[in-house]
Amino acid sequence: MKTSVVFSAFLSLLSLASAATTSSDRKTYPSTFRPPQVFKNANLVHIISLEKNYVKESINVLVENIDKSPQNEYYVPFTADQLSRLGGVEVKDRKDGSVGPFVAEAVELDQSDTHYIRIRLPKALAPGAQQALGITYYLLKAYAPRPASIKQEDQQHLAYAFSAYAPSAYATSKQKTDVKFPSSTIAEYTKLPGSGDVARFPQQQGSKLTYGPFDEKPAGASQPVAVRYEFNKPVTHVSRLERDVEVSHWGGNVAFEERYTLHHRGANLSALFNRVKWQQSQYYQPNTWALKELKFPLRAGSADAYYTDVIGNVSTSRFRSGKREALLEVRPRYPVFGGWKYPFTIGWNSDAKSYLRKTPAGGFVLNVPFLEGPRQAEGVEYEQVQVRVILPEGARNVKFHTTIPTQSIASADVEIHRTFLDTIGRTALIIQARNLVDELRDRELLVSYDYPLSASLRKPLVVFASAMAVFFAAWVVGRVELKFDVAGKK
């Protein structure tokens, strides 16, 4: 069934590859630009989930065309700051899932704090017609720890500020905002006067707060509210992830290496680290907001994993490779508290058969996960991700397709990478993405390329020839007579 996926994706390669590249250069509009008021949000439900250490927001909106002519461009406003931290924007049709994700691209206004995400509806919406949109996106670096620095044994609290009214470029007749928390202990939250039959907002059920329902609100209306709640887990933030995927046809091997630059964005220590307290806390209350362990679920058949940092091998890691999946558990050299850094590198090999396919056309298709970060209960956020697929020497005609939301793909280009015994260097596809989260772990990356036989034979021939040359040179040198006179007496 996997192969069918590959091919179905492979057919649509060309178009999507081009789309990815166009998304890299954004068009900027004058600051006077305002979205034409052609839509109206008939009903809107805004769900903000704070369970992970990034914010996942989803806006389910029923839009209605109130214009005379059919319209196909729906705008969602964001502040410049939000836009820089915005990732993984996906828009779906709520009614039928068969319609693929709509194209969503950033529209930036110069000297203006308000920018937009433009959503292109696949087919224009007739006047008066309605369409249900499901817009989901992630916001990184969304929280601030409050208090900013706490004692080693204290609980960590995070604060998040947002608007009770969903940000919208259009008038909204009916809306409500749900906020989901990791636990039901919510220290503080803004209270609003109620409307209609509700005395006051918000209402709390378990670990969920609900603001609304609100009645008619104009375009761009906002009602700032803030919540502060317990989040006693590490706020893991990967500011940069460099992921190398190196394909070797001779070795029949695909080598992965990932270099993480990892920060803890949580609360700092108010007093310096105390080992005694730490060792005691290991017994008494093991769950802490310090990062102790990272679990990397790898594809089945992954082998010889390694875990190093700038000084060398880190011995505190376990690798279990089973039938169904392989699990790499790594522990940082020291518990990572708020404000501390811990950069490290992991890597592993796996059999090319499970990633590489030969197409009838004679080319090859490589299908690897775009992102294979750790799977943590509290989640992981990636600010910048660079995926570099190093193809064998002489690979040509490289195209790629990924199911990562195109809005997150910053750039993609093909370069030359020189390494062991290369003469012309290997073809490397480099994709820059930003603002990803670990929920996008298993999105796949398809790379297709041609690899003629001549290219594959290049290396052995070159090595053989040079070795021969060396031997010949040695033979010649051996022939040279060093003595001045052969009959020299000792």
Partner 1 sequence: MSAADPLQVLASAGKGESTRSVLRVIILALIAGAAISSRLFSVIRFESIIHEFDPWFNFRATKYLVANGFYNFWDWFDDRTWHPLGRVTGGTLYPGLMVTSGVIYHALRALTIPVDIRNICVLLAPGFSGLTAIAAYLLTNEMTPSPSAGLLAALFMGIAPGYISRSVAGSYDNEAIAIFLLVFTFYLWIKALKQGSMLWGALCALFYGYMVASWGGYAFITCLLPLHSFVLICMGRYSTRLYVAYTTWYALGTLASMQIPFVGFLPVKTSEHMPALGIFGFLQLLAFLDYVRSAIPSRQFQTFLWLFAGTAFGVGLLGLVVATSMGFIAPWSGRFYSLWDTGYAKIHIPIIASVSEHQPTAWPAFFFDLQMLVWLFPVGVYLLFQELADEHVFIVVYALFGSYFAGVMVRLMLTLTPVVCVAAAIAVSHLLDIYLNAKSPENPDAAADKDADGKKGGKAGLKSTNKPLVGIYAGWVKSVIVSSFAIYLLLFVMHCTWVTSNAYSSPSVVLASRLPDGSQHIIDDYREAYQWLRQNTREDAKIMSWWDYGYQIGGMADRPTLVDNNTWNNTHIATVGKAMASSEERSYPIMRQHEVDYVLVVFGGLLGYSGDDINKFLWMVRIAEGIWPDEVKERDFFTARGEYRVDGDATETMKNSVMYKTSYYNYQNLFPPGQAVDRMRGVRLPEVGPQLTHLEEAFTSENWIIRIYKVKDLDNLGRDHASAVAFDKGVKKKKPAKKKGPRVLRVE
Per-residue exposure over 41-59, b if at least 16 CB sit within 10 Å of its own CB, e if not? bbbbbbbbbbbbbbbbbbb
d(CA 188, CA 184): 12
Judged by beta carbon, residue 199 or residue 310, the one nearer partner 1 is: 310
- Tell me if 7 contacts partner 1 by CB under 8 A: no
Short-list 181, 232, 167, 165, CA closest to 55? 181
Does residue number 310 form part of the binding site for partner 1 (CB under 8 A)?
A: yes
Nearest-5° Cα angle at 64, 61 to 69: 140
Quote the least distance from Cβ 487 to partner 1, whole Å: 15
CA triple 383-256-248, angle to 5 deg: 135
Q: Give yes or no for residue 282 binding partner 1 (CB under 8 A).
A: no
Q: Is 272 in the site for partner 1 (CB under 8 A)?
A: yes
Q: Strand, coil or helix: what is 428?
A: strand
**DSSP secondary structure letter of residue 425:** -
Residue 32 vs 315, nearer CB to partner 1: 315
Shortest Å, Cβ 375 to partner 1: 24
Residue 199 interacting with partner 1 (CB under 8 A) = no
Among 453, 482, 486, 487, binds partner 1 (CB under 8 A): 482
Lay out the site mask for partner 1 across 411-450 (x = CB under 8 A, - = otherwise): -------xxxxxx---------------------------
Residues 359-418 close enough to bind partner 1 by CB under 8 A: 418
Shortest gap between Cβ of 201 and partner 1 (angstroms)?
42
Instruction: Give the span between the Cα atoms of 318 and 245, in whole angstroms.
Output: 22
191 binds partner 1 (CB under 8 A): no
Between 145 and 369, name the residue whose CB sits nearer to partner 1. 145
CB of 259 to partner 1, least distance (A): 15
User: Is 445:368 a contact under the CB 8 Å cutoff?
Assistant: yes
Q: Does 286 bind partner 1 (CB under 8 A)?
A: no
Task: Please say which residue, 5 or 421, places its beta carbon nearer to partner 1.
Answer: 421
For residues 248 and 366, the answer to whether their CB atoms sit within 8 Å is: no
- The minimum distance between CB 419 and partner 1, in angstroms, equals 6
Residue selected from 26, 120, 191, 333 as contacting partner 1 according to rule CB under 8 A:
333
In whole angstroms, how close is the CB of 387 to partner 1 at the nearest point?
22
Residue 160 beta carbon to partner 1: minimum distance, rounded to whole angstroms? 27
Instruction: List Cα–Cα distances, 64 to 45, 57, 131, 302, in angstroms.
Output: 15, 22, 7, 50
- Per CB under 8 A, the list member of 314, 352, 430, 455 interacting with partner 1 is 314
Contact 104, 89 (CB under 8 A): yes
Distance between CA 257 and CA 350 in Å, rounded?
11
In terms of CB distance, is 69 or 313 closer to partner 1?
313
487 binds partner 1 (CB under 8 A): no
Considering only the stretches 165-173, 188-196, 339-347, 354-362, report the one whose residues sit in contact with partner 1 under the rule CB under 8 A: 339-347
Nearer to partner 1 by Cβ, of 268 and 386: the residue is 268
Q: Are 441 and 371 in contact (CB under 8 A)?
A: yes
| Among 279, 377, 476, 487, interactor with partner 1 by CB under 8 A | 279
| Cα–Cα nearest to 363, from 447, 448, 445 | 448
Among 309, 329, 439, 450, binds partner 1 (CB under 8 A): 309
| Binding of residue 274 to partner 1 (CB under 8 A) | yes
* b/e per residue 347-384 (b: at least 16 CB within 10 A): bbbbbbeebbbeeeeebbbbbbbbbbbbebebbbbbbb
In this structure, the dihedral spanned by the alpha carbons of residues 139, 442, 21 and 138, taken in order and rounded to 10 degrees, is -10
Binding stretches for partner 1 (CB under 8 A): 272-276, 279, 309-316, 333-334, 339-343, 418-423, 482, 490
